[in-house]
Structure 1
Amino acid sequence: MNPFRLFSRPKKVRKQVYELTRADLETSAVWEFCLDEEGESGQDEATVKPRADVTKISDLDGSCIAKTEFTFADGKRAFGYVSAASEETLPAIQPVIVTPQGQVMFWYGIVPPDEKWVAESLGRLSSVSERPFPIRYSCLVPTDDIPLNGELEGFYHYNRSREIQVIKR
């Protein structure tokens, strides 16, 4: 055994939120944004770190995502995450499903997804369920605030009047 290993620091785990996998969410149900580390090489506003020590979202001061269970119309399940927020609106919690082929976003802000992106997302969802919608979701990490759960009917974005629109397929 290397005697210096006793004094070495554990490896610092940092990932981009859009690269998280199901295995990452199994390792830690909560991932905190590293906003205080943005100036470090290779890190930006999408960099997250695991917070396996956190058992309740409301215990964190910073911004984070939390493991969420998604149930498809046919009863099949998948996992992903929602952003911790003080309100349960799509723009605030931005649900994301993690599939073996990659992540599927449901909130697109002011820029609606194009047809190619919708088709790719539906392809990823079909690896889990041939009939995904409606998709129910429920955050698996407790919070003192409102429960983070709801239902998705498609892919959402704001229109020019800042009203939420849904693209159904």
Structure 2
Amino acid sequence: MTDKQIYELAIDDLASFGVWYFPMDESAEDELTVRPLIDKETCTDAQIIVRASFVGGDGSSYVGYLYWDGGGEVEYIKPVILLEDGSFVTFWNGMVEPSWADYSARAQELRNGLPFSYASDSLLELPEISGRLEGLYYLDGDRISWVC
């Protein structure tokens, strides 16, 4: 089986399988376990992530993933960029105000590429999700804010 922990996903994993899902049953190690999705009929009610492309305002480009959600709001799609060195940047931080200082030196370089546009790959008949990221997002009281 090709199960992984969500935080262990790498660029090569997304190149091999563009869609992953969270198997919420006894076959999964825990709630962070993801598995490649080959046929969307096999898990009609599971949370899935889909490979996405990210392009910075400076022309830089990266691969990552989005939690697939038709609404496309940052708090639901939770965009993540994966880097070659195994580090990553998550653009949704929930109720915790994020800081670029919490990321590796390589990941901090992405700050210079803001804003980022993103688009999910149209795989398994899932419509594309696209948008723009201005920084690291979080819930500030009752509104969404970001840190540039």
Structure 1 and Structure 2 fold alike (TM over 0.5)? yes
Residues 92-143 of structure 1: CA deviation (Å, up to 9, x unaligned): 10000000231110000111124531xx2563152xx673101000001247
Matched, 1:167 2:147: yes
- Partner of residue 67 from structure 2, selected from 80, 83, 92: 83
- Partner of residue 26 from structure 1, selected from 8, 15, 39: 15
Give me the TM-score of the superposition, normalised by structure 1.
Answer: 0.76
Preserved contact between residue 21 and residue 48 of structure 2 (Cα < 8 Å): yes
Q: 1:21 to 1:46 in 2, by over 3 A?
A: same
Structure 2 gaps of 5+ residues are none
Q: 1:52 to 1:145 in 2, by over 3 A?
A: closer
Higher strand share: 2
- Partner of residue 117 from structure 2, selected from 121, 128, 136: 136
Correspondences of 1:11-90 after superposition (within 5 Å): 12-37=1-26, 43-54=29-40, 60-90=44-74
1:107 aligns with: 92
1:152 counterpart letter in structure 2: L
Q: Secondary structure at the match of 2:25?
A: helix
Aligned length: 146
- State percent identity of aligned pairs: 30
1:112 counterpart letter in structure 2: E
Preserved contact between residue 64 and residue 83 of structure 1 (Cα < 8 Å): yes
CA distance, structure 1, for counterparts of residue 108 and residue 34 of structure 2: 24
Q: Secondary structure at the match of 1:36?
A: coil
Correspondences of 1:120-159 after superposition (within 5 Å): 120=103, 123-124=106-107, 126=109, 131-142=112-123, 147-159=128-140
Task: From the CA coordinates, give the structure whose radius of gyration is larger.
Answer: 1
Q: What's the RMSD between the two structures over aligned residues?
A: 2.4
Residues 16-63 of structure 1: CA deviation (Å, up to 9, x unaligned): 11110000001100001111237x5xx111100012345xx9x84311
